[in-house]
Amino acid sequence: MNDVRLEVKNVSKNFGITRALKDVSFKINKGEIRALIGENGSGKSTLTNSLAGIYQKDNGTFILDGKEVHPTNQVEANNEGISIIVQELGTLDGLTVAENIFLGHEENFVRYGIKNTAAMNRKAGELLKEYGFDRIKPSNMIENYNFEDRKLVEIVKATYFKPKILVIDETTTALSREGRDELYKQMKKVRDEGNTVIFISHDLPEVLEMSDSITILRDGDYIDTVNSSEIDEDGLKKLMVGRDITGGYYRADYGEKISDEVVMKVKNVTVPGLIKDVSFELHKGEILGFGGLSESGMHEIGKACFGASFDREGSVTLADGTEINDIPTAISHSIAYTSKDRDNESLVMNQSIRDNICLPSLDDLANKAHLLSDKKLNEFAATYAKKMSTKMQGVEQFVSALSGGNKQKVVLARWIGKDSDILLLDSPTRGIDIGVKQDIYQLMDSMRKAGKSIIMISEELMELIGMCDRIIIMKDGMISGELSREKDLNENSLIAKMV
């Protein structure tokens, strides 16, 4: 019996002059969870999107169970037995839960052109119950549910028809622990049924724990496939980056005294429904971390300090007495903010990399007559995009065409270019590969040494421990504890205050 489920044969894909995939070939077996890893822009999503019909490959073939497949959209891919759960939101507002689950597959519920809504809702209800998600009602509009529940609906949508191949593209970073566990359960279920999971993740411990084997891509090239049980994190990093990633990953200093100079004072800040009575001080040259569960309220801290929260109470005051109550005041007082939701809150997607990087710095870049020079903008954008090692065709390229990690680099490049003194970084390394992660950590460290102050909000406990002078833990919208930088600090100390 042939165990090969999918054969990827000489697949190539170009985006303009960028060669996203170069003659990639490998095989995946039935009953296997195959992780697909690589740095941002290595071609992981391009490959799986081509398999799922979202992109059209330029050359090569996908052979599924011995038969060549070339879907031109997700529904055709579904019909071939391929489904995908994407990184960002894949459900549509304006439709019910049931309509979202069966979008593109309504034929089973349509007779003489008339849709049997009751039958569709009934079937969706049965599926949701089968998955244990019966708290989600099929006839409810999808926009009534939060991100997490909508991802659960996507899981049902992608797996109810028992696909031969399920692709999970960097989905776990967007989920809470509970959501991740549910996804893991479904991945194992698909494998146990003799089908195949292709799992894309930047979280190497998660990759090692969940996958049976791992395929590594680098710059569009196939590098290797290894058994998960025969490799460790350092080995994977080396294969991903092409060099050893050792030492200096996080800060190495301990026991440095934090400056007494307070640059930002947050007093009794409350944002209804999100955070309650939060007070703290940020010192000059300090990296102050915020950790907690996803819904702990920590992500609102950045917005509250940036003047971007709605109905905020309490005060955020700078050393010179300036009250930060709105975004323009924050930016004009050298405060930068990067949101966790970079696509919707940090980037102007249908604009160029240049425009995105230059946006807050236009006043500084304009000449005395308030005119902007293309040359100056291009140079400015190119300098900071390069500093962040952004993989791009040029600064004129649209941000929407970049991979997730490269988009994040553009966001960071914008604020580094602005030379802000206080940086509020919410999940700055989310979806970013290890090579660039290291660059970002080193950048943060050098900024700290240069007297800049940073608030780092993160769900990754190890980076908080590795990078921060102090870590404030949030729980149920309030501060539940504070920990100082020390060698013996470990994840358990943080978790104890989180739950």
Partner 1 sequence: MNELNKSTGKKMSGQVMGYLLLFLLVAISWGIFKIITPNNFGSAKNMMSYFEASLLAAVGAVGFYFVMVMGMFDFSIGANIMLSAIVGCVFANRFGLSYFGLVVGAILTGALVGLLNGVFYVKLRIPSMIVTTGLALIYESLANYIAGGVEQTLPSNLRAFGQMPGNIILAAIAFAIAYLLLNYTRIGTYTYAIGSNEFVAKNMGINVNKYKVLAFIISGAFLGIMAVLTISYGSSMVAVTGMASMSRNFVPTMGCFFGLAFKKYGMPLPAIILGEFVINIIFFGFIALGAPTAIQDVITGFALLIIVTLTTKVAKGEIVK
Gap between the Cα atoms of 357 and 377, Å rounded: 9
Quote the least distance from Cβ 301 to partner 1, whole Å.
Answer: 17
Residue number with CB closer to partner 1 (342 or 418): 342
Label residue 368 exposed, middle or buried (CB < 10 Å: 0-12, 13-18, 19+): exposed
Residue number with CB closer to partner 1 (90 or 285): 90
Quote the least distance from Cβ 120 to partner 1, whole Å.
Answer: 10
Q: Is 273 helix (H, G, I), strand (E, B) or coil?
A: coil
Torsion of CA 471, 477, 478, 481, to 10 degrees: -30
Quote the least distance from Cβ 333 to partner 1, whole Å.
Answer: 22
| DSSP characters over 338-383 | E-SSIIIII--TTSBHHHHHHGGGHHHHS-TTS---HHHHHHHHHH
Residue number with CB closer to partner 1 (94 or 321): 94
Quote the least distance from Cβ 171 to partner 1, whole Å.
Answer: 15
Largest CA distance in the chain: 76
Quote the least distance from Cβ 76 to partner 1, whole Å.
Answer: 6
Quote the least distance from Cβ 107 to partner 1, whole Å.
Answer: 9
Residue number with CB closer to partner 1 (251 or 342): 342
Distance of CA 14 to the CA centre of its chain: 24
Quote the least distance from Cβ 164 to partner 1, whole Å.
Answer: 18
Residue number with CB closer to partner 1 (7 or 76): 76
Q: Is 418 helix (H, G, I), strand (E, B) or coil?
A: helix
Q: Which residues pair with 304 in a beta bridge?
A: none
3-state secondary structure 67-133: EEECCCCHHHHHHHCEEEECCCCCCCCCCEHHHHHCCCCHHHHEECCEECHHHHHHHHHHHHHHCCC
Residue number with CB closer to partner 1 (95 or 462): 95
Q: What angle do CA 422, 423, 426 make, to 5 degrees?
A: 150
Contacts with partner 1 by CB under 8 A lie at: 53-54, 73-76, 90, 92-95, 99, 103-104, 106, 110, 113-115, 117, 135-137, 139-141, 144-146, 149, 310-311
12: left (phi over 0), alpha (psi -120 to 50) or beta: beta
Residue number with CB closer to partner 1 (348 or 495): 348
Quote the least distance from Cβ 70 to partner 1, whole Å.
Answer: 14
Asked if 275 and 301 count as a contact pair (C-beta separation under 8 A), the reply is yes
Q: Which residues pair with 58 in a beta bridge?
A: none
Residue number with CB closer to partner 1 (348 or 372): 348
